[in-house]
Structure 1
């Protein structure tokens, strides 16, 4: 196998642009990210607070100082530290900054393994940010990746390379997984890493970069979708147990102690962090997923134990009967709950998108998310309204099933607006009547304005998580609107 370094022709600045000014423009784009990294890692910042807003025209001393500091930071910052920063702050929402950061690393004449890992992560992060709605939620093909990455990598032939065949084989296998336990038995993370490390300089072949972006994104998306199916099941189980009067359960399969309070189990499920936000290996990811699967097993066993429990003396019914009736009682007290008989009846024909209103759509989404399907799978985070299928992000699912408050309400409204536009698009394609689409788009534009204001409020309140999540959900709504406008 030839492992010589492949030259990547990164799109260059226009001919008339001064090379020195182009370098400075790029430095200004990435400078806020490096400042945040330095603060996060408690690295000394040699620039006083008053001078950290870099001018458009630098003098020679400042130009040299900034570039030397950026190069020194590149040596200190690892990929997992960059991942943690960009996935937990609003800095990941700037296409220009991400593009500049990627180009900065790709242009290095000699790239270390840490450089390679950072490039690997940044390319996937850029794709996740910039992929339009029409391809974000489907089985992504090489052509799709090439189109999204064109501003970064230039025009690339997406034809798969022979030595990337192991990636293609794993991508094909991802389509057949229906539970986190199934995929956790594979070693796909380690296999992908081996292909990357074995590539040497060929990793930087543009077609190879496209292959790795596609593999990494689809693997991550599949893991997250399946993971949230288990989290939703755990939360639903905790609700059932609490309704039955159960207060503590044995959670040794989930790596906890016996007699864990249900409130703590609920908190663990609500605050579960993806095992990709820090330095991770196949072992650490597998351990995190095993703990999650073990926790679900503990909850399900507690439910079975309660159902099998005998009635205490002097009581007409025991916890088992209480648990059996808990779901019915909760449905009766919850106006959003779907009647039990409805789950046994054939599914009703989907309403025309024009007949959907905001509240009706929100209720349909909610019902689909809380329903417990016969098997765990990606459908847990996919909603189907009319002819549209929308894949929801983890924070959007959480906003529907386990959170309340202004931020959760904003996320729910962003999802509903996206679903209404997507459903109206499908209806317009089928019928040729765009009346409902126009109505949905007008409503969505109003929501976009409101959501953008809410993002600003979250930023001012220094609620980073809310600002990031709302920002990305708003961007996806805008992407759906862009697609609708082309019809």
Structure 2
């Protein structure tokens, strides 16, 4: 394995620790991690003793053990404290550990993608995100890397191509691409920490993150556009049991939920329950829209026409296929954008 730029030189380690300390304190406060502050780091001395550095090192080790991967993801993508340099120092700290746990691997995996994202232009084209380019951007944390892929790493490219061909989140979930990438990473064990492997997985995760956000926006926009169309037909409630909501879910509340999802999903991406709910909600809305486009029943012309006379009949017309569970598993955030701010994502 190529040598990491990480250095155990005490003055360097101490300077890095002083830079990271405010971030770790903020993390502890955010997630109520009960650990006394470090007297050594609080002092901010410029000339620490070896024992002082050792005590600070132990404080960071304890914090690392208590900080969960999902907390790190959420916090670093929403705090102004985590700039490019801070993420670089966090990476060097984790890469410099003599023994690394699966949790350390997952943190390193996320930090590499975050460092790459912060170090590249926001309008970077996917076609420019080649392995050599990723390796060059990661040079400050991994050193020079020869980008010759082993056979097992070549499995990542077909996954990327498959994900790029998806047109909605449900397709991404059905193809189980995220799970395949995760399985390959876990099964790699210590091979993951080979520099070329970390470069390859950084490229994979970065491109997958882009695919995810593209599909998330497309699903949210499809839902919001669909809700507007349904409301123009006088439909103001939907049977959303398939998406784990109620059988008479108001369209206003669904709109607020979409906006809350937009905020939440920017801090995390996975194939978790809320995302499946989003994909299922798009299916519900599209199925009801398809019914609206069918020839109207002459015996009940007011059902989709927006008449104010029979709202219950219009709500019944919005019934979709029910799932086996009607229990909501997601709470809407308390602060939502107003309707006049626009529904576009």
> Distance in 2 between the 1:104 and 1:198 partners?
24
> 5+ residue gaps in structure 2?
308-335
Shift of 1:319: 5.6
After TM superposition, the structure 1 = structure 2 runs for residues 21-170 of structure 1, keeping only pairs within 5 Å, are 21-47=11-37, 52=42, 54-58=44-48, 62-92=52-82, 94-133=83-122, 135-138=124-127, 140-170=129-159
Given the alignment, which residue of 212, 222, 228 partners 1:223?
A: 212
Conserved? CA contact 1:231–1:269, under 8 Å:
yes
Q: 1:169 to 1:99 in 2, by over 3 A?
A: same
Q: 1:223 to 1:201 in 2, by over 3 A?
A: same
> Distance in 2 between the 1:299 and 1:73 partners?
45
Q: Given the alignment of the two structures, is residue 299 of structure 1 paired with residue 267 of structure 2, yes or no? A: no
SS at match of 2:4: coil
Conserved? CA contact 2:73–2:267, under 8 Å:
yes
Write the deviation string for residues 365-409 of structure 1: whole angstroms up to 9, x where unpaired: xxxxxxxxxxxxxxxxxxxxxxxxxxxxxxxxx99x97839xx9x
Conserved? CA contact 1:250–1:302, under 8 Å:
no
Q: Given the alignment of the two structures, is residue 19 of structure 1 paired with residue 19 of structure 2, yes or no? A: no
Report the number of matched residues: 314
Shift of 1:182: 2.0
Q: Which runs of 4+ in 1 moved over 6 A?
A: none
After TM superposition, the structure 1 = structure 2 runs for residues 175-194 of structure 1, keeping only pairs within 5 Å, are 175-194=164-183
Shift of 1:165: 1.6
Match of 2:341 in 1: 404
Instruction: Give the number of the structure with larger relative contact order, counting CA–CA contacts within 8 Å between residues 6 or more apart.
Output: 2
Write the deviation string for residues 298-345 of structure 1: whole angstroms up to 9, x where unpaired: 2223334445555788xxx7464569xxxxxxxxxxxxxxxxxxxxxx
* TM-score (structure 2 length as normaliser): 0.79
Match of 1:251 in 2: 240
Conserved? CA contact 1:270–1:402, under 8 Å:
no
> Distance in 1 between the 2:180 and 2:287 partners?
34
> Distance in 2 between the 1:82 and 1:176 partners?
30
Conserved? CA contact 2:234–2:305, under 8 Å:
no
> Distance in 1 between the 2:49 and 2:164 partners?
55
> Distance in 2 between the 1:311 and 1:61 partners?
86
Conserved? CA contact 2:243–2:278, under 8 Å:
yes
Match of 1:341 in 2: none
Q: 1:131 to 1:155 in 2, by over 3 A?
A: same
SS at match of 1:258: coil
> 5+ residue gaps in structure 1?
1-6, 324-397, 413-487
Q: 1:233 to 1:127 in 2, by over 3 A?
A: same
Shift of 1:62: 4.4
Conserved? CA contact 1:184–1:286, under 8 Å:
no
SS at match of 2:107: helix
* TM-score (structure 1 length as normaliser): 0.58
Write the deviation string for residues 210-237 of structure 1: whole angstroms up to 9, x where unpaired: 0010111112211221121010011111
Write the deviation string for residues 130-171 of structure 1: whole angstroms up to 9, x where unpaired: 112453554621012112112211221222222212112212
> Distance in 2 between the 1:31 and 1:152 partners?
20
Q: CA RMSD in A?
A: 3.3
> Distance in 1 between the 2:125 and 2:93 partners?
26
Q: Given the alignment of the two structures, is residue 10 of structure 1 paired with residue 20 of structure 2, yes or no? A: no
Conserved? CA contact 1:135–1:144, under 8 Å:
no
